[in-house]
Amino acid sequence: MLLIRCPYCETARPEVEFRHGGEALMERPRDPSRASDAEWIDYLYMRRNPKGPHAERWRHVHGCGRFFNCLRDTVSDRIVVTWRAGEPVPEVTDGDGA
């Protein structure tokens, strides 16, 4: 079982307390009425599927209930770092997020 550090509870918690919430850091078009169809399609549906580090949203649904951001390696399933929603992406050191 993965141990994931919740940035709000400030402790490492078992994976079963969490839900995956899709790709993180998606930027909504600033003026939707001026956005082209292609831009909307891009925002709504198109997602990266990288092999390696991937920024994701996770929710501590069976804990504090908060969404937060997480950098996870899709090859090793290693949680590299977690940080609070709305905060800048932290410098990645050698921490494992747990």
Partner 1 sequence: MVEPVPSTRFTLGNNRAERVSILGIAPGRQFVFRGPREVADQCGAAFGVDLPASPCRANRQDGRAALRLGPDEWLLIALPDDAVLASLRHSLSRFAHALVDVSSSDAVFEIRGPSTALLLNAAIPLDLSPKTFPVDACTRTILAKVGVLLWRTEQECFRLQVARSFAAYVHDVLAEAAWGLPDA
Binding residues for partner 1 (CB under 8 A): 1, 8-14, 16-17, 62-66
Query: How are beta strands 67-73 and 11-14 bridged, if at all?
Result: unpaired
Minimum separation from the CB atom of position 12 to partner 1 (A): 8
Minimum separation from the CB atom of position 64 to partner 1 (A): 4
From the CB of residue 56, how many other CB atoms can be counted at a distance below 10 Å? Answer: 19
Using a CB cutoff of 8 Å and minimum separation of 24, what contacts does 37-41 make? none
Q: Which is nearer to partner 1, 8 or 43 (CB)?
A: 8
Q: Which is nearer to partner 1, 15 or 39 (CB)?
A: 15
Q: Which is nearer to partner 1, 47 or 62 (CB)?
A: 62
**What is the rounded distance in angstroms from the CA atom of residue 54 to the CA atom of residue 60?**
18
Minimum separation from the CB atom of position 41 to partner 1 (A): 35
- Which ranges constitute the DSSP H helices of 1-98? 37-44
